[in-house]
Amino acid sequence: MVAAESELYVRAFARGLSVIEVMGDGDGRHSIGAIAARAGLPRSVVRRLLMTLVDTGYARSDGKAFWLTPRVLRLGLSYLYALPFWKQAQRTLEELRQEVGESCSMAVLDGEEIVYVLRIPSRRILAMNLSVGSRLPAHAVSLGRVLLAGLEDAALAQYLKTATLRPYTPRTVTSAAKLRQALYAVREQGYAWVDAELDEAICGIAVPVRDEQGHVVAAINVSLNSGDITEARAKKRFLAPLRRAAAQTRSIMLDRN
């Protein structure tokens, strides 16, 4: 990471990105004052950044409020298209969903959160409405447990030291020691099962997707209604199809190299 005082750090660029992130939250239309307050920047700076975004087509304004344009999607899609497995993995997850008949997803780790890069819902409606770009706390979901377990020891130790392990339900693991134990179990068994820790109505089973060096670069899961199935039954029914999907995704990356 480049320090803010380094000559390599472009402060204006960083500020512009923070303004885009702020504008991506809420109801879509924002005043200069509201953006400045949330971004922690002077109004004069925010005004210049907004005028630049408008001039480059990333934002529009009616003279009072500002809002993002669809052009901003290019930034997010650039990341997805850069993933060596993303386009082909869509078909893999579609086939997985058809085989198991449940919602299937792929996610990557971003700090203390997971970010969905693929989401293939089933016809059954789950309590949470998720899509590509949705974020969830890594410690409380199966995808996150797999991704955290895939971290190098030093990175995992840093996460456990600094992460906010917020309780979402009475079953959420909020102890760093207990979470470490759970993540070591994920490493050992090769999958994660999380039941009603983020939402009391949802459980899930996930497996890692590894690159050619064996590093965990993503995770795939099947989401289920909590109470409908036990870990043992989920493992028996879904683990083999999940592992096949993960292996197929990995083979795509290997074929590209």
State the residue range of the domain holding 112: 83-256
Tell me the per-residue pLDDT of 202-245, one tens digit each, with 9 for 90 and over: 999 999 999 888 999 999 999 999 988 999 999 999 999 999 99
Q: Which two tokens stand for residue 130?
A: 């998720």
Q: Is residue 42 part of a domain?
A: yes
Tell me the per-residue pLDDT of 49-93, one tens digit each, with 9 for 90 and over: 999 999 998 889 988 899 888 888 777 777 777 776 777 888 899
Q: Is the pLDDT of residue 256 over 90?
A: no
Identify whether residues 21 and 107 lie together within a single domain: no
Q: Compute the average pLDDT of residues 166-175.
A: 97
Please choose, from the candidates 216, 58, 29, 202, the residue with its C-alpha nearest in 3D space to the C-alpha of residue 130.
202
Identify whether residues 70 and 88 lie together within a single domain: no
Backbone dihedral angles phi then psi of residue 136, each to the nearest 5 degrees: -140, 155
257 SS3 class: coil
How sure is the predictor about 123, in pLDDT bands with cuts at 50, 70 and 90?
Answer: low
Q: What is the mean pLDDT of the chain?
A: 88
Q: Is residue 248 part of a domain?
A: yes
CB proximity list for 68: less than 8 A, separation 6 or greater: 20, 23, 24, 28, 53, 58, 59
Identify whether residues 88 and 59 lie together within a single domain: no
How sure is the predictor about 115, in pLDDT bands with cuts at 50, 70 and 90?
Answer: very high
The answer for 13, left when phi > 0, alpha when psi is -120 to 50, beta otherwise, is alpha
pTM of the model: 0.79
Q: Is residue 60 part of a domain?
A: yes
Identify whether residues 160 and 206 lie together within a single domain: yes
Identify whether residues 30 and 143 lie together within a single domain: no
Choose one of 74, 96, 121: the last residue of a domain: 74
Structural domains in the chain (count): 2
Q: Compute the average pLDDT of residues 190-195.
A: 98
Identify whether residues 28 and 147 lie together within a single domain: no
The pLDDT value given to residue 2? 45
Q: Is residue 188 part of a domain?
A: yes
Choose one of 23, 47, 74: the last residue of a domain: 74
145 SS3 class: helix
Identify whether residues 108 and 170 lie together within a single domain: yes
Identify whether residues 52 and 130 lie together within a single domain: no
Q: Is residue 1 part of a domain?
A: no
Identify whether residues 63 and 96 lie together within a single domain: no
